[in-house]
Amino acid sequence: MVSVLSVAFLLVVLAAHTLAAAVLTRYFRIALDTRGGAAVFTVTGIPLVLLASTYLFSGLLSLGPELGSPAIVLTLLVAVPVGMGALIDVLYIPPPERVDLPESWE
């Protein structure tokens, strides 16, 4: 049986993974000045970070509910946050080209 605390922890990890995916997607879009580089790193780099975080919290620290299948864990804690983070960055945050930055530090 799943406790309320473990479900709450699962939702917190899901929200944190989505935030991390959105921030990393934005970073890759700003730092990589190529056409497809940001997409490649978003699809390959972010899942590795989220997978390491999932392993840390659910494997080493044994936190969160037992979801029963590794496929459910990967889908819920890696694939969904990557998709949501990229969606948030692309749809709701202005493109890096439209953000005005200062020419130099003072």
Contact 20, 50 (CB under 8 A): yes
Q: What is the pLDDT of residues 72-100, one digit of tens each?
A: 888 888 999 999 999 998 898 888 778 77
What pLDDT score does 22 carry? 93
At residue 36, the pLDDT reads 82
Computed over every residue of the chain, the mean pLDDT equals 83
pLDDT-flagged residues of the chain (< 50): none
Q: Measure CA of the first residue to CA of the last residue in the chain; give whole Å.
A: 58
pTM: 0.81
Cα distance between residue 32 and residue 29, in whole Å: 6
pLDDT at 21: 94
Question: Which H or E element spans position 19?
Answer: helix 4-31
H or E element: which one contains 46?
helix 37-54
Query: Is residue 76 within 8 Å of 62, Cβ to Cβ?
Result: no
Here the tokens at position 47 are 């899942």
